[in-house]
Amino acid sequence: MSRREEIIDAALRLARAEGVGALSVRAVANAAGIGPTTLRHYFPSQAELYQAVAGAVVGGSLDDLAIADDTREPVQRLYDCLLQFLPPAEHQEAVLGGWFELYRLALGPEPLPAVHGLLESGHHSSTRVLRRWLGTLADQGHVVPDEVGTHATRALALIDGLHLNLLLGPERVDLEGAKDALRWFAERVVA
C-alpha cells in the first residue's frame, strides 16, 4: 500500500470512528502517523484530501459490473449499475440516516466545511462513475453521446430524490418503488 493509500485509509477509519466532521488535515495526519507537512506533500489542499476520500468511498462501493459486456441487454446493464446507489434493505435506515446526517452537517445552521467538501467530492465522484457507465453505452451506440452529461445529472438527481423519499416518505416510495424508478430511467436513456 502506498503512503497516499495509507493516508486515505487512515482518513476513512477516522471518519468511521469519529464522524466525517473530524476530517481535518491535522486529525488525518495524526491518524496516519505523519505530520501535517507530510500530508500536504501528498494532498496539497484540504479539497484534494476530501476528493481522494470521497473517491475511495464511491470507488469502493460502486462497481462497473458488466457495463461493457455488449452481449447483455444495455438497459439491464445500466439498471444493474444504478441499483448500487440504493441501500440494501437490511441497512436501509442506517445508510439513509447517515446520508441525511451528512447533508444536515454540511448545510445546517452551523455548517461544517469539512463535511460540505466531502459531500461535494462525493457528488463529483458519483457523477464521474455515472458518466463512465453512460459513456461506455454511448461508445456502443446505446446512448446519445451528447446527452451523457445531462443523463448523469438527471440520474444523480433521481437517486438523491429516491434517497430522500425512502428516508422521509417510505409510504410514498419503498425500495421496490425506487427500483422501478431506476428501471424507468434506464429504459428512457438507452436508445
pLDDT computed for residue 58 by the predictor:
65
Which structural domain, as residue segments, surrounds residue 7? Answer: 3-44
Kindly state whether residue 23 falls inside one of the protein's structural domains: yes
Are 164 and 99 members of one domain? yes
pLDDT computed for residue 94 by the predictor:
77
Kindly state whether residue 52 falls inside one of the protein's structural domains: no
Rg value, the chain, Cα: 18
Kindly state whether residue 125 falls inside one of the protein's structural domains: yes
Kindly state whether residue 84 falls inside one of the protein's structural domains: yes
> Which positions of the chain have pLDDT values less than 70?
19-20, 58-59
| Spatial distance between the Cα atoms of 18 and 29, rounded to a whole number of angstroms | 15
pLDDT computed for residue 62 by the predictor:
84
DSSP string spanning 80-100? HHHGGGSPPGGGHHHHHHHHH
Are 38 and 67 members of one domain? no
Are 16 and 86 members of one domain? no
pTM: 0.81
Name the 3-class secondary structure at 4: helix
pLDDT computed for residue 159 by the predictor:
96
Are 78 and 31 members of one domain? no
Are 85 and 172 members of one domain? yes
pLDDT computed for residue 42 by the predictor:
94
Kindly state whether residue 54 falls inside one of the protein's structural domains: no
Are 103 and 185 members of one domain? yes
Are 8 and 69 members of one domain? no
Are 8 and 95 members of one domain? no
Are 176 and 82 members of one domain? yes
Q: What is the 3-state secondary structure (H, E, C) of the chain?
A: CCHHHHHHHHHHHHHHHHCHHHCCHHHHHHHHCCCHHHHHHHCCCHHHHHHHHHHHHHHHHCCCCCCCCCCCCHHHHHHHHHHHHCCCHHHHHHHHHHHHHHHHHHHCCCCCHHHHHHHHHHHHHHHHHHHHHHHHHHHCCCCCHHHHHHHHHHHHHHHHHHHHHHHHCCCCCCHHHHHHHHHHHHHHHCC
Mind listing the pLDDT tens digit for each residue in 114-134?
778 888 888 999 999 999 999
- Domain holding 96: CATH number? 1.10.357
- Domain holding 18: CATH number? 1.10.10
pLDDT computed for residue 128 by the predictor:
94
Number of structural domains, the chain? 2
pLDDT computed for residue 59 by the predictor:
67
CA distances from 163 to 16, 99, 130, 145, 190 (A): 21, 8, 17, 28, 23
Kindly state whether residue 128 falls inside one of the protein's structural domains: yes
